[in-house]
């Protein structure tokens, strides 16, 4: 069958590749550079499995900037356009989703199904179904890690579809058909419950990160060994040894916006934990800033802007807030970030020669450290205890 995917980001691109193993997929995006790269079977984002599948697998996949070409005749139209959190209106900006829905309804066959994969507020899909007087708009959350998006589609932790209609079962089977895992937990819910699953799942992960960051803050101030404490706690199988490596704060594209959106959804509901998770991340970043300023550095070198290793994406990385605060404190800054070709980032010099960077910085701040800093270990300030994400 023909399947259209709107948005060539982590979600849309990984789904396009997954489904194009068995079906005709046309990926639609408004950015010509992404479309051109994909039509050359080159990945516009850094992801090992995506790059491997594009170069080695036989995929029935094309990309276009023409939504009519993509949507016309498609049995399924998957919407994976961005929904950034808007601080002014205090909710996700779903403009791109609604614009795509209107185009899809105008172009697609009357029996086609529209699948929302973009993250949306709780209750959004139901309101959209009512607005456009149709039940063929379905929400299905994604659970993908940055840099491992295709891997997580090939080996899904679970498949959740926010509908119990026959087309929902058909879509779940499409996802299962392209995966390499046979024993996948598939759950069909109402749309609003599916939206809540997505936001609560990511907020739980943010809570774990905030918890171990706060533990690390305590250990640093009290001059205790945080790794020994964490190892002892996580030896309990009920707690487990995951999402426990301290950082400068949770960041990336999903967790900051999803926690804020869930907190807004709690506006008329008693809560303590959800609001604490959001504020704990702010406190953690302020603690990191205080620890840096306490060292009275002359020139601070920021080692990498990316949120995690093996990634070329530094949207909403915690280091951005730390950089801004250091700038406000009139600290001289330099940045080592090999993915940036220009000479400056936010008016800060970018030095792509690591040796020069090490020499010029008298304090190196690294959210995630690396063996390439081992020769200047005494200069490095990091809270990365386990050398992993």
Distance CA 97, CA 82 (A): 8
Distance CA 156, CA 177 (A): 12
Whether 378 shows a pLDDT value over 90: the answer reads yes
Active-site annotation holds for 254: yes
Residue 251: which of 317, 332, 345 has the closest Cα? 317
Average pLDDT value for the chain: 93
Residue 352: which of 333, 365, 334 has the closest Cα? 334
Provide the 8-state DSSP code for 20.
T
Report residue 240 as tokens: 């487990």
Whether 69 shows a pLDDT value over 80: the answer reads yes
- pLDDT tens digits along 327-367: 999 999 999 998 888 789 889 999 999 999 999 999 999 99
Quote the pLDDT of residue 313. Answer: 61
> CB of 36 within 8 A of CB of 105?
no
Quote the pLDDT of residue 46. Answer: 87
In this prediction, residues 61-79 reach a mean pLDDT of 97
In this prediction, residues 25-34 reach a mean pLDDT of 97
In this prediction, residues 196-225 reach a mean pLDDT of 97
Return the percentage of the chain with pLDDT > 90, whole number: 84
Whether 314 shows a pLDDT value over 90: the answer reads no
Quote the pLDDT of residue 110. Answer: 85
Quote the pLDDT of residue 227. Answer: 97
Strands 61-64 and 380-381: unpaired
Distance CA 27, CA 6 (A): 6
Burial class of residue 210 (count of CB atoms within 10 Å of its CB; 0-12, 13-18, 19+): buried
Return the percentage of the chain with pLDDT > 70, whole number: 97
Please pick, among 5, 137, 144, 254, the residue that the annotation labels catalytic. 254
- pLDDT tens digits along 228-287: 999 999 999 999 999 999 999 998 778 888 899 999 889 889 999 999 999 999 999 999
Distance CA 168, CA 160 (A): 9
b/e per residue 60-87 (b: at least 16 CB within 10 A): ebbbbeebeebbbebbbbbbbbbbebee
């Amino acid at each position: 069958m023909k399947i259209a995917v709107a948005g060539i980001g982590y979600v849309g691109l990984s789904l396009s590749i997954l489904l194009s193993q068995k079906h005709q997929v046309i990926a639609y995006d408004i950015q010509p550079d992404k479309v051109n790269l994909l039509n050359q079977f080159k990945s516009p984002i850094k992801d090992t499995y995506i790059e491997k599948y594009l170069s080695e697998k036989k995929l029935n996949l094309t990309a276009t900037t023409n939504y009519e070409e993509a949507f016309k005749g498609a049995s399924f139209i998957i919407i994976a356009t961005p929904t950034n959190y808007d601080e002014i209106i205090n909710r996700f900006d779903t403009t791109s989703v609604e614009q795509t829905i209107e185009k899809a309804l105008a172009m697609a066959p009357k029996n086609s199904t529209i699948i929302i994969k973009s993250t949306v507020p709780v209750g959004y899909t139901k309101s959209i179904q009512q607005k456009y007087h149709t039940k063929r708009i379905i929400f299905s959350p994604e659970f993908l890690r940055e840099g491992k998006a295709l891997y997580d589609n090939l080996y899904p932790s679970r498949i959740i579809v926010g509908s119990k209609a026959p087309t929902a079962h058909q879509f779940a089977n499409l996802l299962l058909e392209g995966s390499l895992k046979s024993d996948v937990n598939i759950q069909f819910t109402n749309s609003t419950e599916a939206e809540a699953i997505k936001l609560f799942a990511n907020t739980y992960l943010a809570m774990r990160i905030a918890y171990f960051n706060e533990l690390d803050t305590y250990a640093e101030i009290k001059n205790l060994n945080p790794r020994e404490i964490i190892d002892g706690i996580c030896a309990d199988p009920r707690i487990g040894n995951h999402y426990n490596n301290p950082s400068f704060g949770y960041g990336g594209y999903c967790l900051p916006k999803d926690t804020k959106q869930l907190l807004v959804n709690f506006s008329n509901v008693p809560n303590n934990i959800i609001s604490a998770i959001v504020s704990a991340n702010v406190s953690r970043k302020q603690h990191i800033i205080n620890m840096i300023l306490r060292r009275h550095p002359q020139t601070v070198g920021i080692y990498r802007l990316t949120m995690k290793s093996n990634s070329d994406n530094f949207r909403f990385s915690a280091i951005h807030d730390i950089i801004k605060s250091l700038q406000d404190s009139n600290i001289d800054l330099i940045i080592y970030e090999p993915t940036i070709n220009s000479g400056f980032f936010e008016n800060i010099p970018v030095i792509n020669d690591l040796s020069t960077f090490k020499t010029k910085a008298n304090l190196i701040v690294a959210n995630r450290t690396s063996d390439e800093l081992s020769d200047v270990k005494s200069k490095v300030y990091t809270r990365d205890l386990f050398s992993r994400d």
